[in-house]
Chain A
Amino acid sequence: EDKVVQSPLSLVVHEGDTVTLNCSYEVTNFRSLLWYKQEKKAPTFLFMLTSSGIEKKSGRLSSILDKKELSSILNITATQTGDSAIYLCALSGGRDDKIIFGKGTRLHILP
Protein backbone atom coordinates (compact mmCIF):
# COMPACT_ATOMS: atom_id res chain seq x y z
CA GLU A 1 0.00 0.00 0.00
CA ASP A 2 1.31 3.43 -0.95
CA LYS A 3 2.01 5.66 2.04
CA VAL A 4 3.66 8.89 3.16
CA VAL A 5 5.02 9.33 6.68
CA GLN A 6 6.05 12.71 8.02
CA SER A 7 8.05 13.50 11.12
CA PRO A 8 7.89 15.13 13.51
CA LEU A 9 4.14 15.64 13.65
CA SER A 10 4.57 18.80 15.69
CA LEU A 11 7.49 21.15 16.30
CA VAL A 12 7.94 24.33 18.32
CA VAL A 13 11.08 26.45 17.85
CA HIS A 14 12.19 30.03 18.42
CA GLU A 15 12.45 32.65 15.72
CA GLY A 16 15.84 32.45 14.01
CA ASP A 17 16.24 28.70 14.48
CA THR A 18 16.74 26.30 11.58
CA VAL A 19 14.31 23.40 11.21
CA THR A 20 14.36 20.17 9.21
CA LEU A 21 11.15 18.38 8.38
CA ASN A 22 11.18 14.79 7.21
CA CYS A 23 9.09 12.82 4.75
CA SER A 24 9.50 9.13 3.97
CA TYR A 25 7.43 7.14 1.53
CA GLU A 26 6.55 3.81 0.02
CA VAL A 27 5.02 3.73 -3.43
CA THR A 28 4.96 1.64 -6.56
CA ASN A 29 5.84 3.63 -9.63
CA PHE A 30 7.21 6.81 -8.02
CA ARG A 31 6.53 9.93 -10.06
CA SER A 32 7.14 12.97 -7.88
CA LEU A 33 7.22 14.25 -4.32
CA LEU A 34 5.68 17.59 -3.45
CA TRP A 35 5.79 19.92 -0.45
CA TYR A 36 2.94 22.25 0.48
CA LYS A 37 2.44 24.91 3.16
CA GLN A 38 -0.97 25.29 4.76
CA GLU A 39 -1.88 28.25 6.90
CA LYS A 40 -5.55 29.01 7.40
CA LYS A 41 -7.10 27.79 4.18
CA ALA A 42 -6.00 25.75 1.18
CA PRO A 43 -2.46 24.35 0.86
CA THR A 44 -0.06 26.36 -1.25
CA PHE A 45 2.63 24.73 -3.36
CA LEU A 46 6.29 24.94 -2.33
CA PHE A 47 8.36 22.38 -4.27
CA MET A 48 8.08 19.47 -6.65
CA LEU A 49 10.94 16.95 -6.64
CA THR A 50 11.40 14.26 -9.23
CA SER A 51 15.16 13.65 -9.37
CA SER A 52 17.27 12.37 -6.55
CA GLY A 53 20.01 14.58 -5.10
CA ILE A 54 18.94 17.84 -6.71
CA GLU A 55 18.13 20.59 -4.22
CA LYS A 56 15.27 22.97 -4.84
CA LYS A 57 15.54 26.37 -3.15
CA SER A 58 13.25 29.33 -2.61
CA GLY A 59 14.58 31.97 -0.26
CA ARG A 60 15.05 30.44 3.18
CA LEU A 61 13.33 27.19 2.19
CA SER A 62 15.02 24.28 0.47
CA SER A 63 14.24 20.65 -0.18
CA ILE A 64 16.01 17.57 -1.45
CA LEU A 65 14.93 14.09 -2.46
CA ASP A 66 16.80 10.86 -1.74
CA LYS A 67 15.28 8.10 -3.86
CA LYS A 68 17.65 5.49 -2.47
CA GLU A 69 16.44 6.19 1.08
CA LEU A 70 12.86 6.85 -0.10
CA SER A 71 12.78 10.15 1.72
CA SER A 72 12.87 13.91 1.44
CA ILE A 73 13.67 16.77 3.78
CA LEU A 74 12.42 20.34 3.90
CA ASN A 75 14.78 22.85 5.51
CA ILE A 76 13.80 26.28 6.75
CA THR A 77 16.64 28.55 7.87
CA ALA A 78 16.35 31.71 10.01
CA THR A 79 12.72 30.92 10.80
CA GLN A 80 10.18 33.72 11.19
CA THR A 81 6.78 33.75 12.87
CA GLY A 82 5.21 33.80 9.40
CA ASP A 83 6.63 30.32 8.83
CA SER A 84 4.17 28.94 11.39
CA ALA A 85 1.96 26.54 9.43
CA ILE A 86 1.28 22.92 8.64
CA TYR A 87 3.78 21.54 6.14
CA LEU A 88 2.44 18.73 3.99
CA CYS A 89 4.38 16.19 2.00
CA ALA A 90 2.60 14.57 -0.95
CA LEU A 91 3.49 11.76 -3.29
CA SER A 92 2.43 11.10 -6.85
CA GLY A 93 2.60 7.54 -8.09
CA GLY A 94 0.94 4.17 -7.87
CA ARG A 95 -1.87 3.28 -10.20
CA ASP A 96 -3.13 6.32 -12.16
CA ASP A 97 -0.44 8.55 -10.60
CA LYS A 98 -2.83 9.62 -7.86
CA ILE A 99 -1.55 12.06 -5.23
CA ILE A 100 -1.62 11.12 -1.55
CA PHE A 101 -0.53 13.19 1.45
CA GLY A 102 1.15 12.58 4.76
CA LYS A 103 -0.36 13.75 8.05
CA GLY A 104 1.69 16.92 8.00
CA THR A 105 4.08 18.62 10.41
CA ARG A 106 2.59 21.43 12.48
CA LEU A 107 5.34 24.02 12.93
CA HIS A 108 5.01 26.81 15.46
CA ILE A 109 7.59 29.60 15.62
CA LEU A 110 7.84 31.49 18.91
CA PRO A 111 8.83 35.19 18.71
Chain B
Amino acid sequence: NAGVTQTPKFQVLKTGQSMTLQCAQDMNHEYMSWYRQDPGMGLRLIHYSVGAGITDQGEVPNGYNVSRSTTEDFPLRLLSAAPSQTSVYFCASSYGQGFRRPLHFGNGTRLTVT
Protein backbone atom coordinates (compact mmCIF):
# COMPACT_ATOMS: atom_id res chain seq x y z
CA ASN B 1 0.00 0.00 0.00
CA ALA B 2 2.60 2.56 -1.14
CA GLY B 3 0.40 5.63 -1.86
CA VAL B 4 2.57 8.60 -2.94
CA THR B 5 6.30 7.93 -2.94
CA GLN B 6 8.87 10.73 -3.12
CA THR B 7 12.59 10.32 -3.59
CA PRO B 8 15.05 11.36 -2.35
CA LYS B 9 14.12 12.31 1.23
CA PHE B 10 17.06 14.69 1.57
CA GLN B 11 19.29 16.40 -0.99
CA VAL B 12 22.06 18.99 -0.89
CA LEU B 13 22.94 20.79 -4.12
CA LYS B 14 25.43 23.45 -5.06
CA THR B 15 24.20 26.58 -6.82
CA GLY B 16 23.83 25.93 -10.54
CA GLN B 17 23.46 22.16 -10.30
CA SER B 18 20.40 20.44 -11.72
CA MET B 19 18.39 17.57 -10.33
CA THR B 20 15.05 15.80 -10.53
CA LEU B 21 12.76 15.12 -7.60
CA GLN B 22 10.81 11.94 -8.21
CA CYS B 23 7.14 11.37 -7.39
CA ALA B 24 5.17 8.20 -8.06
CA GLN B 25 1.69 7.14 -7.02
CA ASP B 26 0.04 3.75 -7.35
CA MET B 27 -3.59 4.80 -6.82
CA ASN B 28 -4.37 5.63 -10.47
CA HIS B 29 -4.94 9.27 -9.50
CA GLU B 30 -5.43 11.68 -12.38
CA TYR B 31 -4.54 14.85 -10.48
CA MET B 32 -0.94 15.33 -9.32
CA SER B 33 0.81 18.39 -8.00
CA TRP B 34 4.01 19.76 -6.49
CA TYR B 35 4.18 22.17 -3.56
CA ARG B 36 7.00 23.83 -1.73
CA GLN B 37 6.81 24.71 1.95
CA ASP B 38 8.86 27.45 3.53
CA PRO B 39 8.56 28.63 7.15
CA GLY B 40 5.46 30.76 7.65
CA MET B 41 4.40 30.40 4.00
CA GLY B 42 2.08 27.39 4.05
CA LEU B 43 2.17 25.28 0.90
CA ARG B 44 2.70 27.05 -2.41
CA LEU B 45 1.70 25.34 -5.64
CA ILE B 46 4.55 24.97 -8.16
CA HIS B 47 3.04 22.89 -10.99
CA TYR B 48 0.10 20.58 -11.35
CA SER B 49 -1.29 18.05 -13.79
CA VAL B 50 -4.88 16.94 -14.42
CA GLY B 51 -3.84 13.87 -16.42
CA ALA B 52 -1.08 12.27 -18.46
CA GLY B 53 0.28 14.67 -21.05
CA ILE B 54 -1.25 17.74 -19.38
CA THR B 55 0.61 20.10 -17.05
CA ASP B 56 0.14 23.69 -15.94
CA GLN B 57 1.81 26.30 -13.78
CA GLY B 58 0.84 27.04 -10.21
CA GLU B 59 1.71 30.03 -8.03
CA VAL B 60 5.53 29.76 -8.05
CA PRO B 61 6.63 27.93 -11.25
CA ASN B 62 9.84 29.83 -12.08
CA GLY B 63 12.97 27.68 -12.01
CA TYR B 64 11.04 24.39 -12.18
CA ASN B 65 9.92 22.10 -15.00
CA VAL B 66 7.55 19.15 -14.95
CA SER B 67 6.30 16.49 -17.32
CA ARG B 68 3.59 13.85 -17.06
CA SER B 69 4.25 11.04 -19.51
CA THR B 70 2.40 8.42 -17.42
CA THR B 71 -0.45 8.52 -14.92
CA GLU B 72 1.85 7.23 -12.16
CA ASP B 73 4.85 9.57 -12.36
CA PHE B 74 5.23 13.33 -12.02
CA PRO B 75 8.90 14.36 -11.73
CA LEU B 76 9.95 17.90 -10.80
CA ARG B 77 13.14 19.21 -12.40
CA LEU B 78 15.32 22.00 -11.10
CA LEU B 79 17.28 23.26 -14.07
CA SER B 80 19.85 25.43 -12.27
CA ALA B 81 19.46 25.33 -8.50
CA ALA B 82 19.51 28.58 -6.52
CA PRO B 83 19.64 29.14 -2.74
CA SER B 84 16.07 30.52 -2.93
CA GLN B 85 14.95 27.00 -3.85
CA THR B 86 16.00 25.67 -0.46
CA SER B 87 12.73 24.29 0.83
CA VAL B 88 10.69 21.20 1.65
CA TYR B 89 8.93 19.84 -1.43
CA PHE B 90 5.72 17.83 -1.30
CA CYS B 91 4.12 15.85 -4.07
CA ALA B 92 0.38 15.22 -3.76
CA SER B 93 -2.23 13.40 -5.80
CA SER B 94 -5.99 13.07 -5.91
CA TYR B 95 -8.59 10.90 -7.58
CA GLY B 96 -10.22 12.55 -10.57
CA GLN B 97 -10.23 16.32 -10.59
CA GLY B 98 -8.69 17.95 -7.54
CA PHE B 99 -11.93 18.97 -5.91
CA ARG B 100 -13.57 15.57 -5.77
CA ARG B 101 -11.31 13.92 -3.19
CA PRO B 102 -8.73 15.09 -0.65
CA LEU B 103 -5.09 15.21 -1.64
CA HIS B 104 -2.78 12.35 -0.67
CA PHE B 105 0.70 13.61 0.18
CA GLY B 106 4.14 12.08 -0.08
CA ASN B 107 6.49 12.41 2.88
CA GLY B 108 8.43 15.27 1.36
CA THR B 109 11.94 16.01 0.09
CA ARG B 110 14.11 18.40 2.08
CA LEU B 111 16.33 20.27 -0.38
CA THR B 112 19.22 22.53 0.59
CA VAL B 113 21.02 24.63 -2.04
CA THR B 114 24.36 26.08 -0.97
Contacts and interface: CB of A to CB of B under 8 A. Distances in A.
Interface stretch (B21-29, B36-44, B63-71): B36-44
Given A9-B40, A32-B99, A92-B98, A100 B45 contact: yes
Interface in B78-104: 90, 92, 94, 97-99, 102-103
Interface residues of A, number: 25
Contacts of A96: 48, 50, 56, 97-98
A102 B56 CA distance: 20
Interface in A61-104: 88, 90, 92-93, 95-104
Contact of B99 (A45, A88, A93): A93
B95 to A, nearest CB: 12
Interface of B: 33, 35, 40-45, 48, 50, 56, 58-59, 90, 92, 94, 97-99, 102-103, 105-108
